[in-house]
Amino acid sequence: MLQTALQGLGIVVITDKHNFFDTLVFDVKASGFSSADKVLADFHKYGINLRKLDDNRVGISLNETTVVLKLATLIEIFALLLEKKDLGETYLPDDFFTIQKYQDLHNNLKRSSNFMQ
């Protein structure tokens, strides 16, 4: 959901969509930003911490407490930073605020051992 919206804004997500757990990584320069440090500084203004992986890659980590409204806020900030004429809501999938079904993990991410059973 977040990956699709970011790509709609022109953000170049480089995380394999089938092999990630809680972090999306994007290419800063290919997405139209000057540097990873600038992206971090811009998001800090909104009280949001992103993770700098190197000079050209930034990660966005989510967890079970992340709510849809926070995702919409992230998308809107990206839209503002990229100076899109329409705010981020334009780039949200039609069912963005109504998706409530559980999406199971891809098989590559499922535990195969008996750990903690």
DSSP string, 7-38: HHTT-EE-S-TTS-SSEEEEETGGGT-S-HHH
Q: Which CATH number fits domain 2-109: 3.90.550.10, 3.40.50.2300, 3.90.1150.10, 3.30.2010.10?
A: 3.90.1150.10
Sequence-ordered list of residues with C-beta below 8 angstroms from that of 60, at least 6 positions apart, any chain: 2, 23, 24, 25, 26, 50, 51, 74
Compare 113 and 12 and report the one with higher pLDDT.
12
Q: What pLDDT shows up at residue 52?
A: 96
Q: What pLDDT shows up at residue 70?
A: 84
Q: What pLDDT shows up at residue 88?
A: 45
Domain boundaries defined on the chain: 2-109
**Digit-coded pLDDT (tens) for 53-93:** 999 999 999 887 777 778 888 888 998 898 876 654 555 55
Question: The pTM is what?
Answer: 0.70
Compare 95 and 43 and report the one with higher pLDDT.
43
